[in-house]
Structure 1
Amino acid sequence: MKMFRQMYWTHSRTLLFILFAFFLVILTAPLLAPYDPLQINMNERLLKPSAEHFFGTDYLGRDLFSRILAGGQVTVGTSILVLGIVLLIGVPLGMFSGFVGGRFDRYLMRIIDAFLAFPDFIVAIVLSGILGPGMLNLIFAIVVAKWGSYVRLVRSTVLSEREKDYILMAVVNGLSTFQIIRKHLLPHVVGNVFVLATLDLGKIILLIASLSYIGLGAQPPTPEWGAMLNESTPYFHTSPYLMFILGIAIMFTVLVSNLAGDVLRDRFDVKG
């Protein structure tokens, strides 16, 4: 059993290290890219992978390796931005709703039930279609699709804690609502939220790539993985490596994010 636990935590640390290394590569993409991702060279269009161009070139002669690095910054960076906004909205609302309750809680839950009645992708694609293409509209659409699940998670955690003796003692001792939330409830919420955010990162990356693929997200010439997949579709039969390499990049990112989320869920003993 001891050997099994050691192997498990070694495996877990390896996954977290891979995730950290991947995000470090994305962060330093401008330093690692050998070419300008926007530079067009029609004399080198659709070149196969080689020592000069590691992943080959696209239909405009742009270096695919450089564009994947830059596209990772857009796709993953936008996903992290969306998560940050969702957390800034969902965590305070969920904590206030769960602790204070009353009419505010009832009305807020009815609104969230209406949003959660539809899959995230449906809400995001409808809003993106109404607002029009563009990354700002895409960010807004995904935030609207995602915020409710975080409010509900935080609220359920607060509801399970607020009737416990240590919370009642804090109320008797005269602590304000803000002090009770900050000192006593927030530490119980952080683990659950962190795990959900890690698991959600892969889903948001897929959402951004999917909506950009159908033209509702990043617009050319911005390098973004979904938009780049869309640009490569006409050349699938002649240059399949264009879509294959991009698909691997998206799949690897989502897979590592989900595995890291599973590790953190076991670490924080989060159920569900």
Structure 2
Amino acid sequence: MSFFKRLQQDKLGITCLMFLGVVSLAGIFAPLIAPHDPTLLQVDMKLAMPSAEYPLGTDHLGRCLYSRILFGIRTTFFYALLAMSVTIFSGVAFGILAGYSNGRVREVILRFCDAMLSFPSEVMILAIIGILGPGIMNIVIANILSKWAWYTRMIYSSVQQYRSKNYVKFAQVHQASPIYIMRKHIVPGISGEVTTHSTLEMGWVILSISSLSFLGLGVQPPAPEWGMMLNEAKNVLFTHPWQMIPAGITILLVIVALNFLGDSLQQAMNSKSYMASPKQQRKLFRLGEGRKMVSDHTDR
């Protein structure tokens, strides 16, 4: 059974994927569907209750909360994706380099990763922001520096496992180039694990950006961002507690959806649930890849 068919059978995973897709589209088309300018000040409309004109009401400066939630998707998702993309790229690159090299290069990379991993990620992020100063780009840099070593270690361990597989040794005996082996065997093998972990990690990065913005260290006003919206709403928490609900519920739903989707991807990508049909096996043998599948089932 293929990966997509297994994923389709997971109703919770599909629901989370559809929800995140709708949220992403809402962020992309925010200028078209937002009823108001998210930075427009209307002091005479401050702290207005939800209505047809303002579906989620207004904040203490009269800005439309619904519009700010929509535009906040663009800010939060874009910088979270930027941080994760750079982290994954650097982690995969250094992990493969360490896993497929011997001697001094591997030792330098691994010892440096050990040094980076000796610090708690939250402490390192706060320390980096303390050095660089507040700002959303500094949060992105801090998240990259605190996480790339973990991905490097994870990829290194996976590469070591795949290098011991029979089909990789078979390719080496037939003098296949290292680039060919990495492209045909190593990278496809680790792609599932990277996808699963990056989906789960995406929620952590969003929470990190929102938390630091809530503390005033990330996105600065008047830019719309969910954590900053919570920061502004806390000033009227006791008089208008409903101001905390829109941004808080949005952050909660997005992170929960990412976590459930990551679990669903992990189950769908479980290689042990894959069994090729006889026709597929004959085709793989004709293409010279049959030994790979035989060795996989032998290893299990």
Output the CA distance in 2 between the equivalents of 1:11 and 1:248.
Answer: 19
State the Cα deviation string for residues 110-152 of structure 1 (Å, max 9, x = none). Answer: 2212222233222111111111011111111110011112111
Gaps of 5+ in 1: none
Deviation at 1:13, TM superposition (A): 2.1
Deviation at 1:171, TM superposition (A): 2.1
Deviation at 1:265, TM superposition (A): 0.9
Is the contact made by 1:192 and 1:270 (CA closer than 8 Å) also made in structure 2?
A: no
Amino acid at match of 1:108: I
1:192 and 2:190 correspond: no
Amino acid at match of 1:117: S
**What residue is the counterpart of 2:131 in the other structure?**
130
Moved more, 108-117 or 10-19: 10-19
Is the contact made by 2:7 and 2:268 (CA closer than 8 Å) also made in structure 1?
A: no
Amino acid at match of 1:263: S
After superposition, the Cα gap between the structure-2 partners of 1:6 and 1:246, relative to the gap in structure 1 and judged at 3 Å, is closer
When the two structures are superposed, what TM-score results if normalisation uses the length of structure 2?
0.84
After superposition, the Cα gap between the structure-2 partners of 1:7 and 1:161, relative to the gap in structure 1 and judged at 3 Å, is closer
1:156 and 2:157 correspond: yes
Deviation at 1:161, TM superposition (A): 0.8
After superposition, the Cα gap between the structure-2 partners of 1:270 and 1:123, relative to the gap in structure 1 and judged at 3 Å, is farther
Deviation at 1:245, TM superposition (A): 1.6
**What residue is the counterpart of 2:259 in the other structure?**
258
**What residue is the counterpart of 2:288 in the other structure?**
none
Deviation at 1:174, TM superposition (A): 2.6
Is the contact made by 1:19 and 1:260 (CA closer than 8 Å) also made in structure 2?
A: no
Moved more, 100-109 or 245-254: 100-109
**What residue is the counterpart of 2:294 in the other structure?**
none
Aligned length: 267
Output the CA distance in 2 between the equivalents of 1:6 and 1:40.
Answer: 45
After superposition, the Cα gap between the structure-2 partners of 1:85 and 1:270, relative to the gap in structure 1 and judged at 3 Å, is farther
Is the contact made by 1:26 and 1:69 (CA closer than 8 Å) also made in structure 2?
A: yes
**What residue is the counterpart of 1:243 in the other structure?**
244
Give SS of 1:13's match.
helix
After superposition, the Cα gap between the structure-2 partners of 1:7 and 1:201, relative to the gap in structure 1 and judged at 3 Å, is closer
Give SS of 1:35's match.
coil
After superposition, the Cα gap between the structure-2 partners of 1:182 and 1:134, relative to the gap in structure 1 and judged at 3 Å, is same
**What residue is the counterpart of 1:176 in the other structure?**
177
Output the CA distance in 1 between the equivalents of 2:11 and 2:72.
Answer: 31
Output the CA distance in 2 between the equivalents of 1:144 and 1:105.
Answer: 19
Moved more, 45-54 or 105-114: 105-114
Amino acid at match of 1:124: I
When the two structures are superposed, what TM-score results if normalisation uses the length of structure 1?
0.93
- Superposed, 1:103-142 pairs within 5 Å as 103-142=104-143
**What residue is the counterpart of 2:295 in the other structure?**
none
Output the CA distance in 1 between the equivalents of 2:254 and 2:140.
Answer: 19
Output the CA distance in 2 between the equivalents of 1:30 and 1:121.
Answer: 34
Deviation at 1:164, TM superposition (A): 2.0
Is the contact made by 2:192 and 2:269 (CA closer than 8 Å) also made in structure 1?
A: yes
**What residue is the counterpart of 1:98 in the other structure?**
99
Output the CA distance in 2 between the equivalents of 1:130 and 1:34.
Answer: 39
1:26 and 2:30 correspond: no
Amino acid at match of 1:18: F
Output the CA distance in 2 between the equivalents of 1:23 and 1:84.
Answer: 17
Is the contact made by 1:116 and 1:149 (CA closer than 8 Å) also made in structure 2?
A: yes
**What residue is the counterpart of 1:64 in the other structure?**
65
Give SS of 1:100's match.
coil
Deviation at 1:11, TM superposition (A): 3.2
After superposition, the Cα gap between the structure-2 partners of 1:161 and 1:6, relative to the gap in structure 1 and judged at 3 Å, is closer
**What residue is the counterpart of 2:13 in the other structure?**
12
**Percent identity for Structure 1 against Structure 2:** 39
**What residue is the counterpart of 2:233 in the other structure?**
232
Output the CA distance in 2 between the equivalents of 1:33 and 1:63.
Answer: 9
Is the contact made by 1:212 and 1:227 (CA closer than 8 Å) also made in structure 2?
A: yes
Deviation at 1:192, TM superposition (A): 0.2
